[in-house]
């Protein structure tokens, strides 16, 4: 693919994507919503493969929110089936490409066969070092914060940590995302200008990119556009333009 001036030395370290618009994609074509979800899987493959090729180390995909459990039973059932199938089919490919799979969210709400397939894929790929794909399943940013508060409070109560020592690092270390850097770029497809309970704590200085493109139409070309736009942004992290000499990623932002 022609990368049209993409600077490979200034890529985001972590791209997060809210994959939205499957239902509208299907409706526009007179098809059922499930067909949109089915087509969306090809977009997942496209962004994973392209991230791997470019050398983006972390990619998080918001696949199912806790609120999505409220959808019609048939749709939830179909989504779970597609997820299970995707994981089973992709696992050998992840092994071939050195991709490590992580899952965040309340995975115990997933139907047992889906949970088993997920855990199998996570375990099989745990030593892979090429890149990390984080699947957010039954994920809620607020849930993540609530569980972090519970864990920190428990440690404080047990005397393992003093209240005065609770700081940003401690909080980050108790979030489900503890082992991954904050996203540098957050993409949302289908034009909605909201976060829909995805990462909340993790995105204080993340660059936002919202495109009207519906998820099943988001392929290599659209991803490239998002990355090029990211490289045009000036990340100031609160400072002035004149002070900026640092790279695009938040690594060592103010620590």
Query: Toward Mg ion, which CB reaches closer, 20 or 222?
Result: 20
Residue 254 designated active-site: no
* Smallest distance from ligand IPE to CB 19, Å: 5
What does the angle CA 112 – CA 116 – CA 118 come to, to the nearest 5 degrees? 115
CA atoms of 144 and 39, how far apart (whole Å): 29
Q: Among the options 2, 7, 22, 68, which is catalytic?
A: 68
The only residue of 24, 45, 97, 147 in contact with ligand IPE, by rule CB under 6 A? 24
CA atoms of 202 and 13, how far apart (whole Å): 14
Q: How many residues make contact with ligand IPE (CB under 6 A)?
A: 18
* Smallest distance from ligand IPE to CB 64, Å: 5
Q: Does 125 help bind ligand IPE (rule: CB under 6 A)?
A: no
CA atoms of 78 and 66, how far apart (whole Å): 16
Q: Does 74 help bind ligand IPE (rule: CB under 6 A)?
A: no
Q: Does 23 help bind ligand IPE (rule: CB under 6 A)?
A: yes
Q: Per-residue string for binding with Mg ion, 8-47, x by CB under 5 A?
A: ------------x---------------------------
Residue 68 designated active-site: yes
Report the partner that residue 77 touches, choosing among ligand IPE, Mg ion, none (CB closer than 5 to 8 A by kind).
Answer: none
Q: Does 176 help bind Mg ion (rule: CB under 5 A)?
A: no
Q: Does 213 help bind ligand IPE (rule: CB under 6 A)?
A: no
Q: How many residues make contact with Mg ion (CB under 5 A)?
A: 1
- List, by residue number, the catalytic residues: 20, 68
Q: Footprint of Mg ion on this chain (CB under 5 A)?
A: 20
């Amino acid at each position: 693919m022609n990368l049209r001036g993409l600077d490979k030395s200034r890529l985001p370290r972590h791209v997060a994507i809210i994959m939205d618009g499957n239902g509208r994609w299907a409706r526009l074509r007179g098809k059922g919503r499930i067909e949109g979800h089915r087509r969306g899987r090809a977009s997942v493959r496209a962004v994973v493969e392209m991230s791997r090729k470019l050398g983006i180390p972390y990619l998080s995909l918001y696949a199912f929110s806790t609120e999505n459990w409220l959808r019609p039973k048939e749709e939830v059932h179909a989504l779970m089936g597609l997820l299970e199938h995707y994981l089973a089919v992709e696992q050998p490919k992840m092994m071939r490409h050195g991709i490590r799979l992580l899952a965040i969210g309340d995975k115990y709400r997933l139907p047992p066969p889906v949970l088993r397939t997920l855990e199998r894929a996570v375990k099989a790929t745990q030593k892979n070092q090429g890149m990390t794909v984080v699947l957010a399943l039954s994920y809620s940013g607020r849930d993540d914060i609530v569980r972090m508060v519970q864990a920190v409070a428990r440690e404080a109560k047990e005397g393992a940590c003093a209240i005065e020592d609770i700081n940003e690092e401690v909080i980050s270390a108790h979030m489900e995302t503890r082992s991954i850097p904050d996203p540098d770029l957050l993409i949302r497809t289908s034009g909605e200008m909201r976060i829909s309970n995805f990462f909340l704590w993790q995105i204080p200085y993340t660059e936002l990119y919202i495109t009207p493109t519906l998820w099943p139409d988001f392929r290599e070309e659209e991803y490239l556009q998002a990355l090029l736009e990211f490289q045009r942004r000036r990340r100031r992290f609160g400072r002035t333009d004149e002070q900026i000499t640092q790279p695009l990623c938040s690594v060592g932002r103010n620590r």
